[in-house]
């Protein structure tokens, strides 16, 4: 059984996010309507070995000429150097504007391949086949593509919507536990933003999804995609409500940047989970949220095996974190915009021209 979640609105062509089991085997017939010439599967070396041959086989069987291009696994591939190498390899294949790039992998592959698709011949179609929970519930939907720079995460990129997203729950069985937990953080985030009943389910009956239960994962992915698609359809370019999807990310990205974006030190989802806890505690400190709400968030995040306190990620300077936050892509005119909450399911944005309260909070959290 599959569920189709439509994504539409704004100035982009509508597309479907298909969620279900065994979708990799159906990829040929589902991608064929968009592949008028050939496809290049862009993947990382790990995922290419696991799922590349199977995907290529079904595309070939559908009469679609297919090549696989693998990039190194890890956040380091979201770089100018790797983007240039990928573009050169795409050019060498002779892809033209009627062809399609298929992003097979997690968020790194989706970001890199999506940006390459946005730039190649001023834009060609691409399809997302996300193989991590984080990518299925977050990065594959919404058209954000980007690479990192030494100054921060996702600072160079483009909005380029996919033509189709295939979220196969079965491929999640190959994920190591840390990646499953990392994706679960983004699932929790969606409940925290605007759906308290969903968060309640995730904290109770649905908690088994964090350890790989397929039925719970299916429901969690579907609801997360529904939430994100509704927000993206209303605000594609993050001029308003879409900013709420950054709950936990301003704190989280600053921490990741200070750690050099080393996934082994702190996975992206772990940073988001920590950032969400910090955002709720800061909301309490600002008198915007009741303390029991923040305490419950922390308890549910901890129960999923995710970090809740800054000390769990390392030792940090408050000034260094502030500098990272001021340089975040969500910052405007030198101020810092945070996604805060009045309670679970009640997120909102607040801009701080004066960083003093944020600095005091970071010091209270244990930053030096």
Task: Inform me whether the pLDDT recorded for 150 exceeds 90.
Answer: no
Which listed residue (75, 186, 258, 298) is catalytic? 186
Report pLDDT for 37: 79
Which listed residue (246, 256, 324, 365) is catalytic? 246
Residue 242 annotated to the active site: yes
Report pLDDT for 236: 83
Separation CA 307–CA 276 (nearest Å):
10
The answer to whether residues 195 and 303 belong to one domain is yes
The answer to whether residues 126 and 223 belong to one domain is no
Residue 268 annotated to the active site: yes
Average pLDDT over residues 7-13: 87
The answer to whether residues 151 and 197 belong to one domain is no
261: tokens are 């974006």
Report pLDDT for 330: 60
More confident residue, 194 or 235: 194
77-121 pLDDT, tens digit per residue, is 999 999 999 999 999 999 999 999 999 999 999 999 999 999 999
Which listed residue (228, 281, 324, 365) is catalytic? 228
Task: Inform me whether the pLDDT recorded for 332 exceeds 70.
Answer: no
The answer to whether residues 24 and 136 belong to one domain is yes
Residue 78 annotated to the active site: no
Asked if residue 177 lies in contact with residue 351, where contact means CB atoms within 8 angstroms, the answer is: no
Final residue in a domain of this structure, among 141, 156, 174: 174
The answer to whether residues 158 and 185 belong to one domain is no
169-189 pLDDT, tens digit per residue, is 999 999 999 999 999 999 999
Range of the domain at 49: 2-174
Report pLDDT for 329: 60
Report pLDDT for 5: 97
Report pLDDT for 27: 97
More confident residue, 332 or 239: 239
Which listed residue (160, 181, 189, 253) is catalytic? 253
Task: Inform me whether the pLDDT recorded for 194 exceeds 80.
Answer: yes
Report pLDDT for 331: 62
The answer to whether residues 302 and 259 belong to one domain is yes
Task: Inform me whether the pLDDT recorded for 10 exceeds 80.
Answer: no
Report pLDDT for 9: 85
Final residue in a domain of this structure, among 121, 155, 174: 174
Average pLDDT over residues 316-344: 88
49-61 pLDDT, tens digit per residue, is 999 999 999 999 9
Report pLDDT for 1: 85
Average pLDDT over residues 328-349: 87
Which CATH number is 13's domain given?
3.40.50.1970
The answer to whether residues 238 and 144 belong to one domain is no
How many residues are there in the chain? 368
Residue 190 annotated to the active site: no
The answer to whether residues 149 and 190 belong to one domain is no
Give the per-residue SS3 of the chain: CEEEEEECCCCCCCEEEEEECCHHHHHHHHHCCCCCCEEEEEEEHHHHHHHHHHHHHHHHHCCCEEEEEEECCCHHHCCHHHHHHHHHHHHHHCCCCCCEEEEEECHHHHHHHHHHHHHHHHCCEEEEEECCHHHHHHHCCCCEEEEEECCEEEEEEEECCCCEEEEEHHHHHHCCHHHHHHHHHHHHHHHHHHCHHHHHHHHCHHHHHHHCCHHHHHHHHHHHHHHHHHHHHHCCCCCCHHHHHHCCHHHHHHHHHHCCCCCCCCCHHHHHHHHHHHHHHHHHHCCCCCHHHHHHHHHHHHHCCCCCCHHHCCCCCHHHHHHHHHCCCCCCCCCEEEEEECCCCCEEEEEECCCHHHHHHHHHHCCC
The answer to whether residues 230 and 351 belong to one domain is yes
More confident residue, 261 or 71: 71
Which listed residue (78, 223, 249, 324) is catalytic? 249
Which listed residue (226, 238, 270, 298) is catalytic? 238
287: tokens are 């008198």
Report pLDDT for 130: 98
- Band of pLDDT at residue 36, cut at 50, 70 and 90: confident
When the pLDDT of each residue in the chain is averaged and rounded to a whole number, the result is: 95
Which listed residue (268, 281, 298, 365) is catalytic? 268
Report pLDDT for 345: 98
Average pLDDT over residues 213-229: 97
- Band of pLDDT at residue 133, cut at 50, 70 and 90: very high
Average pLDDT over residues 243-265: 93
State the total domains in the chain. 2
The answer to whether residues 340 and 208 belong to one domain is yes
Residue 154 annotated to the active site: no
**Residue 83: alpha-carbon gap to chain centroid:** 19
Which CATH number is 271's domain given?
1.20.1090.10
Residue 353 annotated to the active site: no
Task: Inform me whether the pLDDT recorded for 351 exceeds 80.
Answer: yes
């Amino acid at each position: 059984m599959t569920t189709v979640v439509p994504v539409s609105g704004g100035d982009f062509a509508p597309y479907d996010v298909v969620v279900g089991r065994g979708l990799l085997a159906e990829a040929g017939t589902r991608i064929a309507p968009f592949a008028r010439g050939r496809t290049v599967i862009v993947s990382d070396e790990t995922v290419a070995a696991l799922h590349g041959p199977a995907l290529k086989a079904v595309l070939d069987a559908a009469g679609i000429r297919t090549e696989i291009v693998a990039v190194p696994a890890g956040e380091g591939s979201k770089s100018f150097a790797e983007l240039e190498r990928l573009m050169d390899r795409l050019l060498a294949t002779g892809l033209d504007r009627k062809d399609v790039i298929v992003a097979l992998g997690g968020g790194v592959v989706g970001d890199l391949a999506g940006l390459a698709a946005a730039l190649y011949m001023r834009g060609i179609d691409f399809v997302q086949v996300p193989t991590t929970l984080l990518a299925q519930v977050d990065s594959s939907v919404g058209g954000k593509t980007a690479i990192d720079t030494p100054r921060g995460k996702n600072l160079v990129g483009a909005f380029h919507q996919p033509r189709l997203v295939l979220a196969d729950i079965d491929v999640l069985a190959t994920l190591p536990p840390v990646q499953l937990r990392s994706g679960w953080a983004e699932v929790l985030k969606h409940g925290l933003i605007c759906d308290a009943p969903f968060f309640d389910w995730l904290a109770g009956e649905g908690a088994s999804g964090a350890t790989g239960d397929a039925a719970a994962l299916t429901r969690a992915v579907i609801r997360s995609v529904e939430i994100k698609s509704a927000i993206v359809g209303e605000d594609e370019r993050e001029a308003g409500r879409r900013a709420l999807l950054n709950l936990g990310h301003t704190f989280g990205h600053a921490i990741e940047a200070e750690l050099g974006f080393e996934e082994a030190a702190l996975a992206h989802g772990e940073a988001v989970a920590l950032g969400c806890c910090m955002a709720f505690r800061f909301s309490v400190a600002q008198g915007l949220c009741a303390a029991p709400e923040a305490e419950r968030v922390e308890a549910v995040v901890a129960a999923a095996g995710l970090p809740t306190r800054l000390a769990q990620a390392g030792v940090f300077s408050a000034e260094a974190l502030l500098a990272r936050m001021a340089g975040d892509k969500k910052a405007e005119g030198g101020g810092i915009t945070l996604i805060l909450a009045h309670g679970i399911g009640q997120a909102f944005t607040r801009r701080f021209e004066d960083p003093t309260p944020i600095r005091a909070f970071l010091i209270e959290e244990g930053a030096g």
